[in-house]
Chain A
Amino acid sequence: MSWQTFIVDFFTYGILLYSVALLSSYVFIALYSVGITRDHLRKNTFTDYRILASSDQLPGLSILAPAYNEGNTIIENVRSLLSIHYNNVELVVINDGSKDDCLQKLIEGYNLYKTDHFVNEQLSTKKVRGVYRSHNPVYNKLIVVDKENGGKADALNVGINIASKDYIVCIDVDCILEQDALLKMALPFMEHPGKRVIASGGVVRIVNDCVVKNGKILKINLPESFIPRMQTLEYIRAFLLGRMAWSRMNGLLLISGAFGAFDKEIVIKCGGYNHKTVGEDMELVVRMRRYMEERKEPYKVTYIPDPLCWTEAPNSFQILGRQRNRWTRGTIETLWFHRKMFFNPKYGFLGLVSYPYWFFFEFLAPIIEFVGFIALFFFAIFGLIDWVVFLSLFAFILSFGLLYSMFAIFIEVITYNQYNRTRDIFKLILTAIAEPFIFHPFVVWSAIKGNIDLVQKKNSWGEMTRQGFAKPKTS
């Protein structure tokens, strides 16, 4: 056989095999997530959150909200966080060396004074400049920490050192939480006797174009502009299908940095957030799981599909590109740090399924796609392409992707039904049709740039602090 046919065959069969595996995993995830979502919703109707709210046995939560140059909105954001229903809670706002008047605004707005707080440095961090509390008893749940700039991971670690409760809830200070978000978040930690629930993740939804007043959502709308709407679809797909299926298998690797709760003791034992990666949210979950696997302790990472947290999605290709670039680097770094687990039976499901899945279908997918595209280009030049086959295959893939998106929309309609106008559903479907031509290539390109940046070592460290905080990640 000539070298040409060899190369062509190699690509053909390799990519074919890969595609079959990928498509099967999609089919599996879609179908596997349905049952668990349905059960969750049914179970939810029996849960009287008022009993939970009025109990004095609630697990203590410390909300950690890092803030960097948020002076314009910080007062409102903190007020909104303070108004959430939960009895046993403290709110730790960490000012990560903001260059604006963030701290000053907090001091004035909440009548703060500097306390003599001993910071038990269980995790080593940048220097803490001061711990503040309010004179006003109404704000007795509020603690403000002022520290030297060190990036999001470092800020969260300071928060962990300060936190006095058993569980930490990490959030982006600018996201909007539903009033019962903490009650719903706390419940999984009390529901699994015999297993230690080490972390619990929540859904992140997109707030663009929703009507918001005083930090509360009055009306949910589908985003008007294309990029956020595209992400709405992406998030529905990821949160309603992907994460649900993974959590059912107890294989969830990622809890979005915008809203997640963790068992503080385990977090500290594994060393807290890693400030050497831009994907600190994913890295922490992987490390905590690894820790539990190594100690052979039964554990669980749970996930709640109810829309609890709302966040502003990037509205320009530039910002979106930077975000995806960062996600890619975060994924690669996490996979690299924990490469020991790759197909390592010692790590059970984590090593044999979760990790390899991420490696092959999250990390490799954009690369394979990109390489495939280049190969296609050359094959076309050399006239090696049978266009009939190509086009029918292309049509097959497109329709498969579209079907998957529609299935996600379908699940959204029969469950939370937040975009309940027929017009909105059609808009979402049109968005799904447009995705492979506009949005998807861009996302792939951003991922490739992330790979290149990482290889060129033009990565994270310095840049990270300035960029501020990573947006939630979809899986």
Chain B
Amino acid sequence: MGHSLITISIQLPDASSFLSSETHSLIKAVIFLLALMTGLLVYILISLLFKNRRERLRKRLSRITDLLIQRMLFNEDQEFAGNLTSGAGRFLKLKTFRNLLIEELVRAKKNFSGVAANNLQLLYQECDLSNDSYQKLVSRRWYLKAMGIQELAEMGQNKSFDLIFELTNHSNEQVRMEAQNAVVKFSGLTGLNFLDFLTYPLSDWQQIQLINQLGDVDQNASDYIRKWIGSSNNSVVIFSLKLAARYHHFELHDRVALCLTHPSEEVRYHAIKTLKEIFDENTSANLVKLYDAEGLRNQLVILEVLQNIGTEKELPFLEREFTRDQNEIRLAAGRAIARVADMQYLESRSVSTEYPWTEIIQQIKGELRK
């Protein structure tokens, strides 16, 4: 903002009685602003003071929480937990301390697995911290609600599953996301059942989080995925396509291939990408059939997929595309030819001595050498 405030100060002249009668109120306004400013200044200083003070208090308290967590992490006989927490009893009455401890536990839990992780959970229970988390869960403020969900999930409080599951289609995005992450954390693939009735879109970022949460493959996942591929929520369809690709569910090939005619371009894009992971002998031919009706982005991804799964049957098609008018297409088709046949074959094309094909071929050669 080019701060052109004084600008205005020019305005000055009086002549008209308008301003002079306003002078008085103008001075009042200045006094008002000055008062506001003083108030703000005081407020800034107080905020700063409190902020720095809270920071210091947290630092002091965190020494205790750290110690507690460290001891607990390597605590082989678990009876010790009681002794440990009784020492901290005094502090546990402090809300700041409890919140800090929960925060640190949640953070630590993300780093550890095995006995250590169980011990952290034990500490959470011994200190009766779940009450705090439940209170947050029922709060009307979205960030507290989301925080409560995160804590209960990270600390494995399975009893909260039903309460949290209800929030998976919540109107606040963050609450919804945390609830979805939580139910998947609790019960893996079956937690994803919220996809059945999800009306909000899943963002790409949320899909990443869910996949991260999901971890390893479930044997009978393909039945679930098959159901979700038919969802009317496009983002759910895309997400299930990603799952099919990730876990290589070859048995879903035909269902995925149906998505090649899906009305959404985005869904088709992901269907093409998925087929790369679960292709069969008809896939390439299907993609080629689809090709001409698609836009540039999907055409490029088809050519990219053909690099990996194309066969000699597609060579005539690839050669046609190699001589098309767009350089991106030429490059992608050239790469596919070099992979499906070989470099020599690509170099023996009739256009290979012309611009820009010579350069394109040189680049592909360089890439393959690497």
Contacts and interface: CB of A to CB of B under 8 A. Distances in A.
A and B directly contacting (CB within 8 A): yes
Interface stretch (A46-54, A205-213, A338-346, A347-355): A46-54
Contacts of B202: 193
Contacts of B40: 403, 406-407, 410
A429 interface: yes
B356 A402 contact: no
Nearest to A474: B1
Contact of A120 (B13, B26, B30, B331): B331
Interface residues of A, number: 95
A389 B204 contact: no
A420 B3 contact: no
B2 A362 contact: yes
A386 B26 CA distance: 14
A237 B212 contact: no
A190 B4 contact: no
* Residue in B52, B205, B207, B363 with the greatest tally of chain A CB atoms within 10 Å: B205
B112 to A, nearest CB: 14
Interface string A384-406: 11101110111111111111101
| Most chain A beta carbons < 10 A, residue from B15, B23, B203 | B15
B203 A5 contact: no
A356 to B, nearest CB: 15
Given A22-B8, A116-B363, A375-B10, A425 B356 contact: no
Contacts, number: 246
A369 interface: yes
Contacts of A388: 20, 23
Interface stretch (A144-152, A305-313, A440-448): A440-448
Chain B's interface size range is: 35 or more
Residue in A237, A242, A375, A388 whose Cβ sees the most chain B Cβ within 10 Å: A388
A19 interface: yes
Interface centre among A23, A42, A379, A392 (most CB of B within 10 A): A392
B27 interface: yes
Interface stretch (B41-49, B59-67, B248-256, B281-289): B41-49
Given A117-B363, A372-B7, A386 B331 contact: no
Contacts of A34: none
A9 B33 CA distance: 27
A393 B48 contact: no
Interface string B14-25: 111011101100
A436 interface: yes
B169 interface: no
B203 A368 contact: no
Given A15-B10, A389-B26, A400-B5, 5 more contacts: A57-B242, A369-B6, A379-B12, A386-B13, A474-B1
14 contacts: A4-B15, A43-B143, A46-B143, A57-B211, A115-B366, A116-B365, A191-B204, A193-B235, A361-B1, A386-B14, A396-B30, A397-B9, A406-B37, A406-B44
